[in-house]
């Protein structure tokens, strides 16, 4: 069994992909893991996998498109702990109906925003009372280089030809949530940062990404475990600060 460090963490969309690896590594660091997932069977299975690896993990039902599950998740966490130390807003979607701003299906764009931006905002709001009770809370928003206005404006950027308006704009909005929340919470010592995983082979891109899942999870893990001397209000890949 992993030695507990007395801290706890909620990771959304943690039943697979980058989220599951964040849960695994933050758990191995000694955090008790609240493993957020929208599907109870997949969530329970992932939590059970982590427990077999010696990690204290408990499934929490959170569907970013269902506000009642978010409220209930905060109440459930509060029953186990009077505080929350780490929130990783990892859950996110892309959609084949997304695409160029001239042609993308607007209902698809709205659906992507509902999950990637409004869902993450709702989770952050619901968890704030618990995060405020931590002595050193961290919030990590799992963003994307596709959410960078600067990189999208560079015609020589390696992903310059890939411009799904819904996904990219939702991640740019998530980055704004990082900046605003970091400013609002700075005096309370709560650090808020965006992570850029990099192009990682997961279900999201039908395993076309160049990086492994542990490589994709590394930036968010580092930000989840930031020391008190770490930054707030920034956007980071594992290698460097990324431009907004």
Give catalytic residues, as residue numbers: 167, 171
Closest alpha carbon to 174 in 117, 115, 235: 117
CB of 85 or CB of 215, closer to ligand NAP: 215
d(CA 47, CA 160): 38
Pairing of strands 32-37, 8-11: parallel
CB of 35 or CB of 130, closer to ligand NAP: 35
User: How wide is the angle at C-alpha 108 spanned by C-alphas 216 and 161, nearest 5°?
Assistant: 55
CB of 115 to ligand NAP, least distance (A): 5
CB of 92 to ligand NAP, least distance (A): 2
Closest alpha carbon to 34 in 23, 25, 45: 23
CB of 174 or CB of 182, closer to ligand NAP: 174
**How remote is the C-alpha of 217 from its chain's centroid?**
10
CB of 186 to ligand NAP, least distance (A): 24
Site residues (CB under 6 A) for ligand NAP? 12-13, 15-19, 37-39, 42, 62-65, 90-93, 115, 119, 142, 144, 197, 199-200, 202-205, 209, 216
34, containing H or E segment: strand 32-37
d(CA 167, CA 42): 24
86, containing H or E segment: strand 86-89
60, containing H or E segment: strand 57-61
CB of 3 or CB of 207, closer to ligand NAP: 207
CB of 117 or CB of 232, closer to ligand NAP: 117
Closest alpha carbon to 42 in 76, 67, 17: 17
Bridge partners (DSSP) of residue 63 are none
77: alpha, beta or left? (left if phi > 0; alpha if psi -120 to 50): alpha
CB of 71 to ligand NAP, least distance (A): 14
CB of 144 to ligand NAP, least distance (A): 4
């Amino acid at each position: 069994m992993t030695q507990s460090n007395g801290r706890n963490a909620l990771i959304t969309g943690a039943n697979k992909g980058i989220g599951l690896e964040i849960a695994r590594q933050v758990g191995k660091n000694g955090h008790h893991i609240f493993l957020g997932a929208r599907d109870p069977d997949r969530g329970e299975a992932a939590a059970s996998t982590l427990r077999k690896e010696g990690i204290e993990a408990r499934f929490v039902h959170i569907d970013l498109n269902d506000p009642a599950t978010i409220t209930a998740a905060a109440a459930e966490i509060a029953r186990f702990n009077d505080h929350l130390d780490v929130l990783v807003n990892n859950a996110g979607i892309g959609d084949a109906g997304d695409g160029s701003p001239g042609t993308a299906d607007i209902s698809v764009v709205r659906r992507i925003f509902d999950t990637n931006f409004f869902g993450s905002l709702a989770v952050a709001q619901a968890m704030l009372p618990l995060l405020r009770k931590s002595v050193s809370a961290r919030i990590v928003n799992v963003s994307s280089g596709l959410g960078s206005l600067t990189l999208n404006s560079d015609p020589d950027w390696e992903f310059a030809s890939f411009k799904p308006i819904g996904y990219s704009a939702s991640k740019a909005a998530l980055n704004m949530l990082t900046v605003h929340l970091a400013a609002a919470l700075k005096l309370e010592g709560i650090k808020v940062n965006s992570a850029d995983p990099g192009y990682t082979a997961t279900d999201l891109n039908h395993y076309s990404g160049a990086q492994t899942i542990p490589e994709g999870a590394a930036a968010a893990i580092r930000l989840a475990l930031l020391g008190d001397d770490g930054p707030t209000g920034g956007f980071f890949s594992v290698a460097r600060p990324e431009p907004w």
